């Protein structure tokens, strides 16, 4: 999994039937120190995440398991909302 | 999933039998602000997408689930046509 | 899927039993305008591709579905031979 | 698999039900000579790893197999604690 | 699949039970002309590969199929030992 921040959302009326009702959020991947890291992706929300929140997301075929449609063509899902990040060794490798 | 723009298509007469009839579109990945991001890929269309449209695509083994051949050797599929992208926190991490 | 050009082949006598008889081709990924894009990979041929031909390949667990051994440890397969690439919007995002 | 060092952990109260009880550790990927290599990820611990330890992690759909919830939306897991790395040919390709 | 050279090995006493007995080799990915390409990974040996040998490896969920534990949390496996690489078009795209 990776850390990310919810930066927005996408509206798509015409879509795969298994995506109907899915909340499609834009996630900016971040490092443990909150700096952006790589390109934004679109993930299905499964935990009630909102704009500006720090979240954990999973990618690949396991992502759809977090949704109500485990056989949907979903390759990214938000699976947790982060309360705190503790990274004492980040600068001390 | 990622955002992309349909930039073209590919014709391949000789191909895997599960790809017969599949529309093979060229997708340029983009960021939420429409700038290109990374190299184009070939995705199977499942939602009636056309040249110039902004779409959502999924990659990996889940992609074939969006098509009529869930066991086909397909690793990328267009799963939605984007109506709007709202990204208020993009510049404010 | 991605576009590629067949640039060579690999011979491996000692290998996984499910790879016996598989044609292992070297694929240089390319962009729609034929410029190289990224590092070569080894893909199993399933469509009779030859040196110098432009092809479509799939990666990941779906690749083995294109071969005669759907449970083989194969993560890349050539799934189509390209007749033409039409990319009118490539330069006009 | 890749080598990594445990640099911290993440607390997430609101999360997918299959992640309840999972220890979410921050892993800094490293090279065999211990230099950092790429961006940190969040992996589920399955072997009792602690801060500062060098570990082996697996990514993708196989990661959940290492946990108590093989159908969980987990895409990274720590699968071994490294005793020693012996890399005599690293500099001699 | 990709080409690689075996550069070392890793010892991990505490590990997932499905990895017990697995030979964990360090693989440096290489290009067809033998130059290094990207970061080393840890792959399970299934073909009796040794230090300094050029091999073919597969990654992702298919890798475990090459081992004695097809449901193990293994995301990389050595699936062939290379006898020869013939790449006549490498420089002539």
Q: Which of D6, D8, D10, D43 to mutate to test the interface with A (most CBs of A within 10 A)?
A: D10
CA distance E26 to chain C (A): 18
Query: Which pLDDT score is estimated for D92?
Result: 57
Query: Which pLDDT score is estimated for A90?
Result: 82
CB contact under 8 Å between B41 and C1, yes or no, is yes
pLDDT above 80: residue A25 = yes
CA distance E44 to chain C (A): 12
Residues 6+ apart with CB under 8 A from C91: none
Residues D47 and D78 sit within 8 Å (Cβ to Cβ): yes
- Give the count of beta carbons closer than 10 Å to the beta carbon of residue A80: 28
Confidence class for position C90, pLDDT limits 50, 70, 90: confident
**Is D6 in the E-facing interface, judged by CB distances under 8 Å?**
no
Query: Which pLDDT score is estimated for E44?
Result: 98
User: Pick from D40, A41, C87, A3: which is nearest to B60 by CA?
Assistant: A41
% chain D with pLDDT above 90: 91
Average pLDDT, whole number, for chain A? Answer: 95
- Give the count of beta carbons closer than 10 Å to the beta carbon of residue B29: 16
* C18 vs D92 pLDDT, higher one: C18
D63 by DSSP, 3-state: which? Answer: helix
**DSSP secondary structure of E41-93:** EEEEESS---TT-EEEEEESTTGGGGSS-TTSS--EEEEEE-SEEE-TTTT--
Q: Write out pLDDT tens, residues B63-76.
A: 999 998 889 999 99
pLDDT above 80: residue B48 = yes
Confidence class for position C93, pLDDT limits 50, 70, 90: low
**DSSP secondary structure of E12-31:** -SEE-GGGTT--EEEEEEE-
Could you give the ipTM of this predicted complex? 0.95
Query: Which pLDDT score is estimated for B90?
Result: 82
Using an 8 Å CB-CB cutoff, list chain B residues near A63.
62
Integer Cα distance of E72 and E81 in angstroms: 22
**Is C42 in the B-facing interface, judged by CB distances under 8 Å?**
no
pLDDT above 80: residue A58 = yes
State which H helix or E strand residue A7 sits in.
Answer: strand A2-11
Q: Write out pLDDT tens, residues C55-77.
A: 999 999 999 999 988 899 999 99
CB contact under 8 Å between A14 and B48, yes or no, is yes
Confidence class for position E52, pLDDT limits 50, 70, 90: very high
pLDDT above 60: residue E83 = yes
Integer Cα distance of E4 and E59 in angstroms: 12
Query: Which pLDDT score is estimated for C91?
Result: 64
pLDDT above 60: residue D73 = yes
Query: Which pLDDT score is estimated for C68?
Result: 86
- Cα–chain-centroid distance for residue E74? 12
Integer Cα distance of D92 and D90 in angstroms: 6
Query: Which pLDDT score is estimated for C47?
Result: 97
Q: Write out pLDDT tens, residues C1-56.
A: 999 999 999 999 999 999 999 999 999 999 999 999 999 999 999 999 999 999 99
CB contact under 8 Å between E40 and D31, yes or no, is yes
Average pLDDT, whole number, for chain D? Answer: 95
pLDDT above 80: residue E62 = yes
Instruction: Find residue A4's DSSP bridge partners.
Output: A29, A55
Integer Cα distance of B58 and A72 in angstroms: 10
Integer Cα distance of C7 and C52 in angstroms: 6
CB contact under 8 Å between A41 and B2, yes or no, is yes
* Neighbouring chains to E with at least 3 Cβ pairs closer than 8 Å: C, D
> Tokens for C47?
């469509």
Confidence class for position B53, pLDDT limits 50, 70, 90: very high
Query: What mean pLDDT comes out for the span B17-33?
Result: 96
Q: Which domains does chain C have, with CATH numbers?
A: 2-81 (2.40.50.220)
Q: Write out pLDDT tens, residues E14-41.
A: 999 999 999 999 999 999 999 999 999 9
What is the model's pTM?
0.96
Pairing of strands B41-45, B76-81: parallel
Integer Cα distance of D36 and A20 in angstroms: 41
Least confident of A76-80, C57-61, E69-73: E69-73
pLDDT above 60: residue E92 = no
**DSSP secondary structure of chain B:** -EEEEEEEEEE-SEE-GGGTT--EEEEEEE-TTS-B-S--EEEEESS---TT-EEEEEESTTGGGGSS-TTSS--EEEEEE-SEEE-TTTT--
Query: Which pLDDT score is estimated for E68?
Result: 87
pLDDT above 60: residue C92 = no
């Amino acid at each position: 999994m990776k850390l990310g921040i919810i930066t927005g959302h996408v509206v798509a009326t015409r879509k795969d039937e298994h995506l109907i009702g899915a909340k499609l959020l834009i996630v900016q991947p971040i490092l443990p120190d909150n700096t952006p890291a790589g390109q934004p992706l679109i993930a299905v929300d499964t935990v009630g995440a909102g704009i500006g929140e720090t979240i954990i997301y999973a990618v690949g075929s396991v992502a759809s398991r977090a949704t109500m449609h485990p056989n949907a063509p979903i390759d990214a899902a938000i699976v947790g909302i982060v309360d705190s990040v503790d990274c004492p060794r980040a600068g001390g490798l």
